[in-house]
Amino acid sequence: MEFRHLGRSGLLVSEISYGNWITHGSQIEEEAALSCVRAALDVGITTFDTADVYAGTKAEAVLGRALKGERREGLEILTKVFWPTGPGRNDRGLSRKHIMESINGSLHRLQTDYVDVYQAHRYDYATPLEETMEAFADVVHSGKAHYIGVSEWKASEIRAAHALARELKIQLVSNQPQYSMLWRVIEAEVVPTSEELGVGQIVFSPIGQGVLTGKYLPGQEPPAGSRATDTSGGAGFIARFMSDEVLTRVQQLKPLAEQAGLSMAQLAVAWVLQNRNVSSAIIGASRPEQVHDNVKAAGVKLDAELLKAIDEILDPITERDPAKTQSPAKRP
């Protein structure tokens, strides 16, 4: 495993991190989830990402049980706050009330005294940014988190939060956006701003929800048991990539992967790691062998000709519009 600093902070994270969005507590049985976490630990992954909302808080609990007994100082545990975790009007968002209650719930479920990075899962347009950042500062100063981060924030929002974080003497070190060969919306604005401020990207969906593995074929039904057939939520997230045009072009990447001596998944993960502002790429898994395959992308250097060939194949279908950064509906 290779390691990188998270932005310009002193915190080192594994180039490949393990995330349990969609899978733990919902899509796969707990024993399978525990096997995947054990596989991640076995291959040297030390960075684990989750969120309170995943599987209605169950994903955090599964991860807590999976990591129990591991040396806490040797792990980097990240979680998030924003989306609803209960029926109440204040069980969501980035108000002081929700942040302070949510960090306590997350720590209980994760069976730890602190998280390494506590992340704002989306920007809250209904709460003053000053209130949010002051609450995060209290979380850090109380020892319940070491650093703070954000997820899917626009460049201007990251800049404003970073300025407040400096005033409050805490470190905003990361942004967690979607990023892959097919989804490059962070490159125009978020990445340059983050490089300037010393914020690193911990990217999710580097394999395009599985599309970049090449297992989905144009004109054919998705394989049984794949994410595209998951009615509990996975199919909705992958739908944007399931057109025949996208799938046809993805198939054209296979010879490039073979020439590089990589699987399609390894090529996809290695590609996001070529971006110097990416600190870590999050992988998910429903089987341990997926972890063993994906982790081989760590430390891989792709040459300029290969990167150019990838661009030529995918350029017509690649999304680059920075306005496509995910924003939540405004909360009343």
- 8 Å CB contact between 148 and 172: yes
Positive or negative, the CA dihedral 54, 58, 63, 64 is positive
CB 49 within 8 A of CB 14: no
Tracing tokens 């100063």 back to the chain, one arrives at 141
What DSSP assignment string belongs to 230-273? -TTTHHHHHGGG-SHHHHHHHHTTHHHHHHHT--HHHHHHHHHH
Amino acid at 166: R
Phi, psi of 52 (to 5 degrees): -65, -30
Q: Is 54 one of the catalytic residues?
A: yes
Euclidean distance between CA atoms 298 and 78, whole angstroms: 20
Asked whether 113 and 143 are in contact (CB, 8 A), the reply is yes
Q: Which of 54, 118, 179, 216 is catalytic?
A: 54
* CA 324 centroid distance within chain: 17
In the numeric block, the tokens 């805490």 are attached to: 170
Distances (CA, A) of 150 to 61, 111, 238, 267: 22, 23, 23, 27
**What is the DSSP pairing of strand 145-150 with strand 172-175?**
parallel
185 touches 321 (CB < 8 A): yes
Residue with tokens 């596989």: 39
| DSSP codes joined into one string, 135-156 | HHHHHHHTTSEEEEEESS--HH
Neighbours of 269 (CB within 10 A): 28
Element spanning 312, H or E? helix 304-314
- The Cα–Cα gap between 162 and 133 comes to 9
- Report, as residue numbers or ranges, the catalytic residues: 54
